[in-house]
Amino acid sequence: MNGPLIVQSDRTVLLEVAHPDAEEARHELAIFAELERAPEHVHTYRITRLGLWNARAAGHTAEQMLATLERYAKFPVPQTVQIDIDETVGRYGRLVIARDEASADEPGELVIRGSDAAVLAEITRNSKIAPFLGIRRTSTEWTLQPWARGQVKQELLKIGWPADDQAGYTPGTPHEIELVEDGWALRPYQQQAVDNFFAGGSGVVVLPCGAGKTLVGAGAMAAADTNTLILVTNTVSARQWRAELLKRTSLTDDEIGEYSGQVKEIKPVTIATYQILTAKRKGEYAHLALLDALDWGLIVYDEVHLLPAPVFKLTAELQARRRLGLTATLVREDGRESDVFSLIGPKRFDAPWKEIEAQGFISPASCFEVRIDLPQSERLEYAASADDERYRLAATAPAKLQVVKDLVAKHDGERILVIGQYLDQIEELSDALGAPQLTGATPVAERERLYQEFRDGTTKVLVVSKVANFSVDLPEATVAIQVSGSFGSRQEEAQRLGRLLRPKESGLPANFYTLVARDTVDQDFAQNRQRFLAEQGYSYTILDAHELAA
């Protein structure tokens, strides 16, 4: 045994980065373990219950996961870890939510069944689950309240018994949708994602930015042939979805509606924003009727890692409708990955970023962390500041401005995104570079115009806030300069790199720069933000700002 992994009894796994088998081991390990720390030489992963259950739902067995650890381990895998993985994975599916056979007029009664009477006895005595139960039929079967399907799955997961939901779905109102494959076809991994989703019933497809998540959504719609509600992050995203569906499917303008702050259309395929669904009037959600406006047979959640908390509660009541979550990363900074698992569904398909890159479907990218020394006066101000002020001071350090100018000059002629978190910083960058700025306050029409000018090359440099993190199609962007970000947000880092990953007609490589004030919390947060991308096989080259200027 001389592999790159050291498996420890506390379910952490150390990966020796320099080992010749490290990349191969990382690829296999990421199926069921989450990266916690990624310094230069040894990366630390943790095997969690949710990670194991997501892997099991995606078709991986405990035997396969243990075989991965044993194949790449430097020392024998501790017996406690072997037993723990086997028993944890074995909990998935011991409880099944199903329906009795339906009559012609009524759906069958909702029931929960267990292969083990002791497990069912344990959960029925739980005070959080008891209100959802109906009557005890046998030692291994109870009826469930017809409205409780989502809530009971949430509570079961909390106590370590993830249920396999086999209760089926309403077909919705039939609506024919076909893919129009005119000179294109679903890529093999996109087709596999659609197939896995339908085999599992509901759940999440994880694909890198630029790998065609919208096409997976279109493929699922064509397979379902039913009225579909698509929930997206913002109006720009809604219009991009609409344009893509008109281009790739048989749907016409008359069949696709937009339901946003500006337009309230309900059609067989309706694209709505999360904001409108969570908008309140007099303390009540004003647009909940949309969820039952038509008999939806499929609900698509774009960027499911951003699902607002109120939508989880609404989704708990939509369990009879087939649900597809699309995302580049299941990481949620609020820790609610378990709610995605319970209410949208488990992970059904996950394609590692580097694997899709190797197939030529997304651009190769180089990542750089540019470290900047603060002048003495700013160091003193930083040192004297309260903890809650220090990140802003470091993130908006004036010294970053010259570095941005140097990088823009270095990549002269390329299409460059300069990304910031703070509005005053964005305005300063825009003025200094003579480049247009785009923030949350920019009207939708203006946003679309600026994006289009960037796409066609009229505008080469665009200064953007976090509104450009998600669902924005800028295929020819080759450089992103991240000046400041949302503290240590891993999913934001992934989304920002994702703006660069669509294959380029220019053939230019992608370069992602993060500007960091040395020896500050800015540097600490940067290390945390980089964790997800490190898990995907991306490494950051450290550059000194002085060398860059030279």
Residue 176 lies in a domain: no
Domain co-membership, 11 together with 128: no
Nearest Cα neighbor of 523 from 398, 407, 369 is 369
Calpha distance 31→537 (Å, rounded): 13
136 strand-pairing partners: 142
Q: Which residue has the higher pLDDT, 391 or 472?
A: 391
Pick from 130-134, 335-339, 418-422: least confident? 335-339
pLDDT in tens, 293-323: 899 999 999 988 778 777 877 887 888 899 9
Instruction: State the pLDDT confidence band at 287, using cuts at 50, 70 and 90.
Output: confident
Average pLDDT, the chain: 87
Our separate counts of H helices and E strands in the chain read 22, 25
Residue 170 lies in a domain: no
Joined tokens for residue 166? 């086999």
The whole domain housing 45 covers 5-90
Residue 172 lies in a domain: no
Calpha distance 142→96 (Å, rounded): 11
The phi-psi region of residue 273 (left if phi > 0; otherwise alpha if psi is between -120 and 50; otherwise beta) is beta
Q: If you average pLDDT over residues 415-442, what whole number do you get?
A: 90
Model pTM score: 0.83
Domain co-membership, 381 together with 494: yes
Domain co-membership, 243 together with 272: yes
Q: Which of 328, 354, 380 is the last residue of a domain?
A: 354
Q: Where would I find the H helices in 304-415?
A: 309-316, 337-339, 353-358, 376-384, 387-395, 399-410
Q: Which of 354, 381, 407 is the last residue of a domain?
A: 354
Q: What is the pLDDT of residue 103?
A: 45
Domain count, the chain: 4
Calpha distance 465→419 (Å, rounded): 6
Instruction: State the pLDDT confidence band at 403, using cuts at 50, 70 and 90.
Output: very high
Nearest Cα neighbor of 326 from 509, 466, 498 is 498
Residue 521 lies in a domain: yes
Domain co-membership, 423 together with 408: yes
Given a cut of 50, is residue 142 above it in pLDDT? yes
Q: What is the pLDDT of residue 427?
A: 92
**Residue at token pair 């009971």:** 152
Domain co-membership, 86 together with 99: no
pLDDT in tens, 66-118: 999 999 999 999 999 999 999 999 999 899 999 887 544 566 889 999 988 88
Q: What is the pLDDT of residue 393?
A: 87
Domain co-membership, 277 together with 221: yes
Domain co-membership, 136 together with 57: no
Domain co-membership, 232 together with 347: yes
Q: Which of 38, 67, 90 is the last residue of a domain?
A: 90
Q: What is the pLDDT of residue 133?
A: 92
Residue 183 lies in a domain: no
Residue 179 lies in a domain: no
Pick from 39-53, 179-193, 304-318, 371-385: least confident? 304-318
Domain co-membership, 65 together with 149: no
Domain co-membership, 252 together with 109: no
Q: Angle at CA 210, nearest 5°, toward 206 and 216? A: 50
Residue 448 lies in a domain: yes
Domain co-membership, 15 together with 64: yes
Domain co-membership, 349 together with 373: no
